[in-house]
Structure formats: structure tokens, C-alpha cells
Chain A
Amino acid sequence: MRGGDTTPEELDTDMERPALEAALAEIWKTPEGMWGALATVDHKIIGRRYIITAFVFLAFGGVLAILMRAQLAQPESRVLGPDRYNQIFTMHGSSMMFLFAVPVMEAMAVYLVPLMVGTRNIAFPRLNAFSYWIFLAGGVLLWTSFVLDMGPDVGWFAYVPLSGPQYGVGKRADVWAQMITFTELSALAVSVEIVVTILKQRAPGMSLDRIPLFVWSMLVTSFVVIVAMPAVMLASTSLILDRLVGTHLFNPAEGGDVLLWQHLFWFFGHPEVYIIFLPAVGMVSSITAAFARRPVFGYLAMVLALIATGILAFGLWVHHMFVTGLPRLGESFFTASSMAIAIPAGIQIFCWLATLWDGKPIFRTPLLFVIGFIVTFVIGGLTGVMVASVPFDTQVHDTYFVVAHFHYVLIGGAVFPLLGAIYYWFPKITGRMMSERLGRWAFWLIFVGFNMTFFPMHILGLQGMPRRIYTYQPDMPWHGLNLFVSMSSLILAAGFLLFFVDAIRSARRGLLSGDNPWDAPSLEWATSSPPPSFNFAYIPVVNGANPLWEQRDVVAVAGGLRTHRRELVITTVAAAEPDAREASPRNSIWPFWAALATTVMLISSIFTPWAVVWGSIPIVIALIGWFWPKGTPEDES
């Protein structure tokens, strides 16, 4: 460590370990009580909150799915009317995409990435706190409006003109558009934190070729978020302008263009799929290595495949628009690019298969979910190849075939790995194991229920059943399969229920796990379970890609950090050589106030554009409070 500057304060190297841990605990702690809860900037507390909140939205979205299946079990059923049904499918899609899938992946990264790279907190920890409150506010806004019967009813991609001022009456589409602003804001904030954490805060020695694959996947994902999200914020803001202040950006009668919405939305919307899928890929790699008992085969190929996927993700958006009448040549390009993305996906599948082949698989619940992932995601990927073909797509676009396809990709490709990841990292987060017996039951119920629910939808789509219909007529040949699907969805729901029961029960009464119950190789397992507020008493030093397998007895550590203030090590981008000691901000209540002020401004702006003017004042005050020097040791430097 550089120790050139004169520091009267004690260094960690001067202290015995118990005294050091006490000093670090004192400086990094989150106080008890309300103030502590609102002011904390500990990435683990915020990450845990994020994960739990996202899973609550998953449960809400799942209840909506069951309601939809109840309505569709019979032709011309009257369980739900068209108005409620349209709100419900919109809420289901919006909640699952914006309030569950993206945030939960970001949340896992908020918790895990600082631990996996061996640092003490995420970069910009106050921004991290802010992003959680903003995410929560967006979710509460959406669900409150739904309970008040003013939930959005225009589908999760809210096509204009249906969502525009003329056809989208009331405040429903405004609520949707503003919810987008909330969730995108929080996702962008987290992505910036993740990128900086990964590039600048890695443990000494963790050069680019030693970064765990999950961390690589989050790095690529975060860059995809940073490039993709502005497009949808632009789109939703334009929609709000059309609706609130009478611009005509999407109004063809005044020179606007309705297809502009689709381009902007899908330029974000397709990468969105990879924003959800890439972290899951990283989880699969972590689990596979730990349970196949060897490092993932083809590290370099895996990293290049991740990067290739992240780049290609931006060349596919038009395949959501194959039936809008775009020029043939353009469509052909997007067919080729959509097909091409199957290649990096294939590389990763082959590398995992090779890892399993060469390893010695231990069939615990996390690995079961990985196996379920391979079986189902390959189906989703192959139906993706199908819909990438323009002519094929003209028959299945906007039908239940596509509903089946993206549930295979999103549940098979992302939720299966996520559930595996929860079983895998639960002991690290809580210090307790989840039940292996319940885990197996949950896996089989979810795996069987999922396939029974979604596989028949391929057939329904080919039989001509469009998506987003609240009912169908008795003379259509769809009722048998629809009833079967509705019944099967109960099996799937039972599986999720069991998973929730297991998680809640195990958090209190699970067996104590110890630091590294799976004998896994990456750094998060080098500290205690759950980790202390400061993560690592000494910053670990890394000599390879699998530090805990390479240094069986004791992990090398670096010293030289001061203990009178929150401090962490900054390393160089490529080689991760120690570069500087950097202060990390203390707890602060101001991110909470800033989020509250932003929430008031954004929600009020649904009702009057003047809210943007007056609402900015409290935000400015909150930001001044946030950045005002408080004279703490962290302010030095």
C-alpha cells in the first residue's frame, strides 16, 4: 500500500485481529432503529431489501397470472371483465419485467459483487440507497394505482396510439410511463455503481482474467443497461409529453409517427431480455463450478460470449416489428442478427456441458435448477431462432406461441438460475441453509408445472390463438388446452409457494451453514456468513481465478488501510494493482429525502406539468444536504 502521506491514525497492520474487527465494526456499522434503517448505505442491507422487495413483486405478479388463467380456463368466462383483465395482463408484464426481473438481478449484484471482488462496499453507496427507495416508490405507485382501479391497461409495451392521449383515457398510461421513469432511474444508478465497483474496487491481483464469471456478466449487463435505458426513458417521457402538454410526437395526424414508439421501446426492450438473462448466465456459471467441482470450462470463450451477446443485443430490436411492414432488406438484416445471437448462447451451453462432463456433479438443489435451466432454456432459445425468421414470425407473432417462447426464455433462462442462485447464496446472506428436501420438491413442482403450463401454449399459438385476449369463443378449438394450462399453472404456483415457505422458514430456523458450505472458489465465501458490515477484516489478495481453491488454508491479504474512517482499496482497471486508498461514504438520511422529493415530483407531474418546476426545489435542497461536507474523516482526501 502507498503510505506516503502522513497519517496519525492507526493502520490495520498495527492492530491485533480482534481489536481491528471491533474498530471496523464500529466505523462501518448500521445503527439500530428507524434512523439506521433509513440511512444505511451498507450494500448488503440494501441488496437484501432489494431482493426481498423484488420477490414480493414476483408473488404479486404470480397472483395476477393465476387470475388470468382462471379467466381463460373456460371460453367466454366471466371471472374477469375486459377492463380488469387488460389491467391485469399489463400489470403482470410490467411488474415481472420492471419490478421483478431487472431489479432482482441488479439486487443480487448489489449484494454479491462487492463481496465477490473483495471490497468493503459498493461504489457510490448513497446512490445505491437512493436507487432502492426510487425503485420501491415506482412499485408502490404502480400497485397503488392498480388497487384504485386506475392501473395501466395498455400492455407492458404500451403501444401508441392506444396509450396516447386520444385512446388512453384517464391517468392509467401516465402511471405506467412514470413507473418506467422510476425503475429505469434506479436501474441506471445501480449499473453505474456496479461498473465502477468492478473496474476500480477489485481485490489486488484480481486482473481481468481472474474476475468471476458472475461479475463479468454483471459488468456486461450494466453496460447494456447504461446504453439501453435512455431509449425507454426518452420514449416514456415523450409519451408523457404527448399526453400532458399536447406535443404530437406520436400523432400521425400532426406529423408524428406511431412506429417511432416501437423503435425506441424495442431498442431498449430487446436488450432488456439480455439484461435479465446475462446475470442468470453468470449465476449458472457460479453454481456449475461449485457443484461440478471444477472451474467452468472455457473461461475466455465464456467472457467473449457474454460480451458478444451484450453487443448483438442492440442489433435485434426490429424482430419485434416484423409485421409492421418495414422494408424487406432491413428485415433480412435483423433476421440474420437475431439468428446470430444463438451462437454465443450455444457457446455458453456447450461450455457448461463440458464442465459437467469433466466435473463430478453433486446433485444438490442449486444444480437441479441449473439442469432445469439447460433443458428449458434451450427450448426457449430454439423457439427464439424460429421467431427470428421473418416469414415464420408472421404466423406466430403476437400469439400464444410467443407467450410460450418468452416464458421459456425468461423463466427457463432467468428464473430457474435465479432460484438456484437463491439456494446457492442463501447461506452466505443469512448464515443458514435452505432445506434440501423442500428444495427438491420445489424444483420438481416448478419444473413440471412450468413445462405443463407453457409447452401447450406453443400449440395454442399455432392453432391461431392471439395473445392478450380476455376471452375466446366456444367454437374455437382452444378450450381443452386452455383448461389444461390453467390447471397446470396451479402446480407451478404450488412450487413457488413452497419455495417462499422454505426461504422464510430457513431464514429463521435453517441449519447454520458456516462460511463456505459448498466449498466454492470465489471470494464471497472467504468471509463469514452472513458477512460483517465491513465484509473483510483484511482486503484479500488474489493469485488466480479460483482463490479459495488455490489457497486452501489461508487467503493472502493486504494491509495498510486506516481504521478511523471507512476506507477501501482502489485498484487499476486491467491488472488490479493497488492504486489508492479511498474513503467510502458514511450512512446518510439524505438519499432517502432525495428519493422522497423525487417521488413527489414525478407523481405530481402526472397531474400537472408545473410539478416539474416546483417539485425540483425540494430535490435541490435534498441534494445539497446529500453532498454538504459534514466534517467527517471521509470528507478528507
Chain B
Amino acid sequence: MKLRITGRRLRALVPALTLAGCTGWQSAIDVHGASAISLKQLIVLIMATCSVVWALVILALIFALWRRRPVRESPLALDPGAQRRMTAAVAGAVVATVIVIAALTVFSFLTTRQLSVAGGDDLTIKVRGLQWWWGVEYFDSNPELRFETANEIHIPVGRKVRLQLEGIDVIHSFWVPSLAGKQDLIPGRPNELTIRAERPGTYRGQCAEFCGLQHAHMAFFVIAEEQTAFDAWMRLQRDSAVASSDAEVTAGQQVFLSKPCAACHAIRGTTAIGRTGPDLTHVGGRKYIAAGLFENTRGSLAAWIADPQTLKPGNNMPMVPLAAEELRSVSAYLASLK
């Protein structure tokens, strides 16, 4: 009976290990960043070793349970020869354990050393963790060239990017498994993480430290682009918002600036300078809204503004009562902010 079950478990283990996490844009196994690639090598190595160890223990267990043995007079009538052999076997197994453990520890240290460390000239981005969204600030030696965005981090492929991580309210954790391991954002204790994407793509990340009601909806995206595309994006982001002359958009801007929206959100180039909520200067160009909750369309923007508390219960954006016409125009305005 035991034989059959362990066989089943073994068969279950093998595909599980080989196929584990082979899909997805937020996966520690489907990796596209320098750190995540060396981490995956370590993960595979340790898992393979441990699977062998487990299999050996189970083999020993099966053997111990199924072995034919002579009847013993009394539980205390032990054979001294057998005791000596068992002592040797257990001692051997303990020595093997020590060797395996020591080897894994060394591999672990080597991987830690191998993980990339940023140099002085690397691109530096400050990431702020807030309940339940991410503020992103791009630094530049020229203060004019600094800018702010939210929930979406663009990086150039093949370059080291230094992320300065800062927890604003409670502890959050920055994790884009396809690119690197996670690092906490802790109030009062700034941290750093270096990432380097090896391939262009959109990589999803998510807060990994429980941070309250909407911990589940605190995603972000790292978009790795070729240098030229990245430079173009940077130029666009540095500019202030440009409202088109479309009548609906103009009306929407008026709604935005006259209603409470502007108290929490900033749109550079307008009088809206709030910093409680995400910077919306180029919100129309982002792929997602509400920290990865919806794809960014005019419809989802309207739905979000109309009733943020039903869509993301407990989040800090209040419902601002708007007439249907106001809702239409303000969503048109935000969608136009490419």
C-alpha cells in the first residue's frame, strides 16, 4: 500500500518540478532579468538536490518497512552486530547530510555575490509604496528633467537600474519575479534593489507584504524597452500635460480642476498638484489603472471614477458625485493625457 502511494507522489513530483511556473508574466521560473536568471539557476539546483534527498529517504523508508526479518523474542533482544551496522549507516547518512547542507550553503553565498550591484552612473528610480499603489520618480542630475508617474516603471533593456525603495505608510514589498527577487519598502528604512532586464517585455509585479485591505490589488508593471523607445518615453513623460482643444476634453479638465480630484492628484501643467494619489500627468498613456486592476480604457476610467469603492473596496479614493455628463467628459480628459 505504501509502495503504491509513494510511487504516485514521486510521479507527481517530477512534472511539478519541471513544469513549475513555466508560464506567466509574473513568475520566478519564466525569467527575463539578470538577477532572476541566476536565482532560477539556484532554485533549480537546490530543488533537484532536495528531490534526490527526498527520494532516497523514501526509498530507505520503504525498505525499512517492507524488509523481511526474523521474529524477535522480546523487544529488548537486540542483535549487537545489527546495532553496529545501523550506527555506521546513520553516521554515514548524517555525514552526507552535512556535506549536502554545506554545499548548498556555499552555492547560496555564491549566488548572492553574483547578483548585480549598481554602479554610480546607473539610472536611478525612486519607488514609493503606498496603500495601495506605487509612486515612481525618475531622477536626473538636472532637476528640470525629473518627473513622476505611478504604477508603471519603464526601463531600458540591458542596463542596470537602481531602485530606491521607500515605504510611506506601512510595509510593502516590491516584487517583479521575472526580473529579480523581492525587497521590502519599510517606513523609516530606505532600501535599494538593482534590476536589469535582458529582454524587452512587460513584466508584472505585485506587493508581496501584506499591507491591508487592498493588498491583493497593488500591482505594477515594469516595461522594458530598447534604449531609443525608452528615451522617447522619457521625453514624453518630462513634458507637462497637453490638453487637446476638443470641447469634451476641455470640459473634462474643468471638472477635474473644480472637483475634489485636484486635491489628491497632480497633473503637471495645470493647477492640480495633490500628492496623496497617483500623478496623472500622462495617465492616458499607461496600460493599466488603479494599480493593475483594469486595463486602461475610457470606459474603465469612467467606471473607476464613478464608483471606486465598489471596484476596490477600502481604497483611499472617495466617490466624488458627478453628473453623467461630467463623468463622460472627465474620463475623456484623462484618457487624452497620453
Contact = CB atoms under 8 A, between A and B. Distances in A.
Contacts, number: 269
A1 interface: no
Contact of A252 (B36, B58, B188): B188
Nearest to B219: A473
Instruction: Choose among A252, A301, A353, A521 the residue with the greatest number of B CB atoms under 10 Å from its CB.
Output: A353
Interface in A309-364: 323-325, 328, 331-332, 335-336, 339-340, 342-343, 346-347, 349-351, 353-354, 356-358, 360-361
A212 B40 CA distance: 45
Contacts of A472: 216
Given A83-B213, A389-B46, A259 B75 contact: no
Contacts of A328: 112
Contacts of B60: 353, 357
B173 interface: yes
A252 B186 CA distance: 10
Contact of A161 (B169, B175, B192): B169
A522 to B, nearest CB: 12
Contacts of B65: 356, 361, 371
Nearest to B111: A391
A464 B188 CA distance: 27
Interface stretch (A181-189, A378-386, A586-594): A378-386
Instruction: Choose among B46, B181, B183, B210 the residue with the greatest number of A CB atoms under 10 Å from its CB.
Output: B210
A332 B112 contact: yes
Contact of B105 (A339, A349, A379): A339
Contacts of B192: 325
Contact of A463 (B24, B46, B173, B211): B24
B43 A392 contact: yes
Interface in B89-118: 89-90, 93-94, 97-98, 101-102, 104-105, 107-109, 111-112, 115
A83 B177 CA distance: 27
Nearest to A396: B28
A455 B29 CA distance: 17
Contact of A258 (B47, B69, B187): B187
B318 interface: no
B299 interface: no
Given A301-B90, A339-B104, A395-B181, A464 B76 contact: no
B206 A161 contact: no
Interface residues of B, number: 96
Given A325-B183, A385-B46, A385-B104, A469 B97 contact: no
A375 B9 contact: yes
A397 interface: yes
Nearest to A397: B182
A463 B78 CA distance: 51
Instruction: Choose among A154, A162, A325, A462 the residue with the greatest number of B CB atoms under 10 Å from its CB.
Output: A462
A321 B81 CA distance: 48
A166 B5 CA distance: 52
A162 B57 contact: no
A282 B21 CA distance: 37
A383 B112 CA distance: 19
A477 B90 contact: no
Contact of B215 (A297, A342, A394, A468): A468
Interface string B4-46: 0110010010001001110110111100000010110011001
A466 B28 contact: no
Given A159-B171, A389-B108, A339 B63 contact: no
Nearest to B51: A382
A251 to B, nearest CB: 9
Contact of A340 (B64, B94, B101, B171): B101
Interface string B151-187: 0000000000000000001110101011011111011
B21 A462 contact: yes
B53 interface: yes
A386 B58 contact: no
A386 B111 contact: no
A582 interface: no
A297 B29 contact: no
B235 interface: no
B214 interface: yes
A81 B214 CA distance: 10
Given A293-B72, A339-B104, A470 B216 contact: yes
| Closest 4 A/B residue pairs (Cβ) | A394-B181, A252-B188, A469-B216, A464-B26
Given A392-B43, A466-B206, A549-B75, 14 more contacts: A167-B212, A294-B78, A353-B60, A357-B64, A357-B86, A388-B108, A391-B38, A391-B42, A393-B181, A394-B183, A395-B182, A447-B5, A471-B216, A473-B293
16 contacts: A155-B210, A159-B210, A297-B90, A325-B184, A325-B186, A335-B108, A350-B94, A353-B57, A357-B86, A360-B69, A371-B61, A385-B50, A392-B43, A458-B20, A468-B215, A470-B216
